[in-house]
Amino acid sequence: MVRFENVGMRYGTGPEVLRDVSFTVAPGAFAFLTGPSGAGKSSLLRLMYLAQRPSRGLISLFGTDIATAPRHSLPALRRRIGVVFQDFRLLDHLSALDNVALPLRIAGARESEVRSHVVDLLRWVGLGDQIDARPATLSGGQKQRVAIARAVIAKPALLLADEPTGNVDDAIALRLLYLFETLNKMGTTVVIATHSDGLVRRFRHSVIRIRDGETVFEPAGHADVAG
């Protein structure tokens, strides 16, 4: 599903923020990406959701070598990846429904199907009564769930979440993690970036630990993450 081999990354002409990163996430795996703030978690995620190309090394996503893939082939790969951004990145001028519908509309889904699918999903994440609400009127937790709904509406093969529990209280954080586990059980490969060791210990999934731009893998008894 995801394979990094000796990957290095730098922004512009700056120093390398990631060095010799190597790991593999198998299809259907659930993995935490963890490490202290500033360690490079977000940079690693940016490589995984194709916001950035590596400056060296090999990244393979769904069997495609990202370094050599032509630019026009990347949107199709991105549509197989759902991303929950740390700052949600909801579009303020759109309702919850239209925010969640974006990936379907981008994929060219028929408008008649879009609404029913989105409404069902918003109900599933507990926002059935906020369908027409604009992000500005939603609480942090509600925005988070809209962002998650948008990330999973197109049934992505890979779900990436950047600090999804960073802005919510512990109870909501636990609920979100259970939600991700449910999605994982439905076949989605999940990688969650978090600096919360508590969550990592509690859920006992595979761990990619990153420190000073270098990764250490911790299978923790699982075979689905390997270095």
Among 11, 36, 65, 106, binds another protein (CB under 8 A): 106
Binding to another protein by residue 111, rule CB under 8 A?
yes
Closest CA to 161 of 116, 113, 212, 203: 203
Upper half-sphere CA count for residue 196 (Cβ side, 13 Å): 20
Distance from C-alpha of 81 to C-alpha of 74, rounded to nearest angstrom: 11
Q: DSSP strand E in the chain: where?
A: 2-10, 16-25, 30-34, 56-61, 64-65, 81-84, 158-162, 189-194, 206-211, 214-218, 225-226
Task: Determine the interface stretch with another protein among 8-16, 92-100, 166-174, 192-200 (rule: CB under 8 A).
Answer: 92-100
Region label for 12, one of left (φ > 0), alpha (ψ between -120 and 50) or beta (otherwise)? left
CB of 161 to another protein, least distance (A): 14
Binding to another protein by residue 70, rule CB under 8 A?
no
Closer to another protein by CB, 76 or 216: give it: 76
CB of 221 to another protein, least distance (A): 34
Touching another protein, residues 163-182 (CB under 8 A) = none
Binding to another protein by residue 102, rule CB under 8 A?
yes
Closer to another protein by CB, 26 or 102: give it: 102
DSSP secondary structure string for all residues of 112-134: HHHHHHHHHHHHHTT-TT-TT--
Which residue ranges make up the site for another protein (CB under 8 A)? 49-53, 71-72, 74-76, 78-79, 81, 83, 89, 91, 93-94, 98, 101-103, 105-107, 111, 150, 154
